[in-house]
Amino acid sequence: MAVPQTLDTLDVGAIRKDFPILKRETQEGVQLVYLDSAASSQKPEQVIHAMSRFYETEYSNVHRGIHTLAEEATAAFESARDRVAEFVGAESSRQIVFTRNATEAINLVANSWGRANLGEGDLVLLTQMEHHSNIVPWQMMASELGFKIEYAPMTDDQRIDLAEYGALLERQPKLVGFTQMSNVLGTINPVAEMAEMAHAAGAVVLVDGAQSVPHMVVNVADLDIDFLAFSAHKLCGPSGIGALYGRRELLEEMPPFMGGGEMIKRVQFDAFVAAELPSKFEAGTPPIAQAIGFGAAVDYLSKLGMPAIRQHEQEMIERALEQLEEVPGVRVYGPAAEHKGGVAAFTLADTHPHDVAQILDRRGIAVRAGHHCAMPLHEKLGLPATTRASFYLYNTPEEIDSLIEGLYAVREVFA
């Protein structure tokens, strides 16, 4: 850690020194302004070095050898699982299943829990603001198993409509799945309240935490949820690894998702017995170095303090919304700053989002343009696409100023 941080503030200047990529120029004389952390965050030296050190000094497969390297690699791999479990408040690291990403974590629940518990006449309740990762797996299973899917609507300010959500719960869905923070609108949903309502209706609760876990305190015990899916690459960790938290009794009952090595206790020619948690869901050689990086990433964020990170992003989004509203032709989507995270999706009148992003890129400003893997939400908004600027712990007020200057430059091009 470059500089010790207080509990309620971040030294962003010191933090930026931990991220080598933030020093680069996208072209000569043009400094990178990275505003695309909702897609994937950048990586600090602490994470990069932890993975390099593992490859250089400890690399081996895990769980399968008794030689020194195998034992060291296994210890490092399982230590990372312990720290990830602690980061989200899991009671036991056995409740943390390593997956490739949040998408695979949701697919695991859909294919394992869903296949065992859903059928003709059942209902799965989602929301209109879901990422494709929390829509398509359920659609795939519905086409196979015959259950129905309904979507809780939004209010006019693009928050969850709790009254309509409650009315849909009267139909007693078997599972309720929703994002904690929308990757388009930035809307932060009241997870604890929604989970309590869903449990009262007899439903299992799955939360997509891909956007929330990197940016705020997320404690599965306090929220009282059954499943939580999240990825390392959005929280300063490497790509290629994510995690599923599951309530232990549910994970115990669920059949394996994939078959092969490591996920078995015993195999015969005509049968097999699955391994204990979490191994029964982790077939084959796992992403070992990525897990080491995952552990290093949660260590990094924990030392900074998630409340301080949340506070910094709140200041960033308040500044961004205030300035975006002053740009002629800009319309921002999502609720007011107090109800959202560091995500600002917007349109600029008479200018396609792809053109906005391309012109901003010439100025070194990296934003995302498109439907952001949320086509049904964009259809609901009556939009083919939006431009999205997203903020993280390493962004500065000056970078927001650069974004605004860039938007005025876009207006000039298309005047």
Q: What are the tens digits of pLDDT across the range 315-348? A: 999 999 999 999 999 999 999 999 999 999 999 9
Instruction: Say what the alpha-carbon torsion angle 334, 335, 338, 340 is, to the nearest 10 degrees.
Output: -30
CA–CA separation, 147 vs 153, rounded Å? 20
Model-level pTM greater than 0.85?
A: yes
Catalytic residue of the set 149, 283, 373, 383: 373
> The tokens of 181 are what?
């923070």
Contacts for 220 with CB less than 8 Å, ≥ 6 apart: 88, 89, 90, 228, 245
* pLDDT for position 64: 81
Asked if 345 and 352 touch (Cβ cutoff 8 Å), the reply is: no
Q: Where are the alpha helices (DSSP H) in 67-180?
A: 68-87, 102-108, 115-117, 136-145, 162-169
Amino acid code (one letter) for 223: L
- Strands 204-208 and 227-231, by their bridges, are parallel
- Looking only at Cα atoms, what is the longest distance across the chain? 72
Listed residue (254, 229, 256, 262) closest to 243, CA to CA: 229
Measure the N-to-C terminal CA separation of the chain; round to a whole number of Å.
Answer: 47
pLDDT value of residue 415: 82
* Residue with tokens 């398509």, as numbered in its chain: 136
Q: Please give the order of strands across the beta sheet that includes 227-231.
A: 96-99, 242-246, 227-231, 204-208, 175-179, 123-127, 148-152
Q: How many CB atoms lie within 10 A of CB 20?
A: 12
Q: Where are the extended beta strands (E) located within 190-241? A: 204-208, 227-231
3-state secondary structure of 370: strand
pLDDT of residue 2: 38
Residue bearing tokens 């509990």: 7
> What local confidence, expressed as pLDDT, does residue 9 receive?
85
| Mean pLDDT, rounded, of the chain | 96
CA distances to 346, 348, 369, 413 from 359, rounded to whole Å, are: 15, 13, 12, 9
Domains of the chain, start order: 12-37+305-413 (3.90.1150.10), 49-302 (3.40.640.10)
pLDDT at 19: 98
373 is annotated as an active-site residue: yes
pLDDT of residue 8: 67
Mark the ranges of the chain whose per-residue pLDDT is less than 50.
1-7
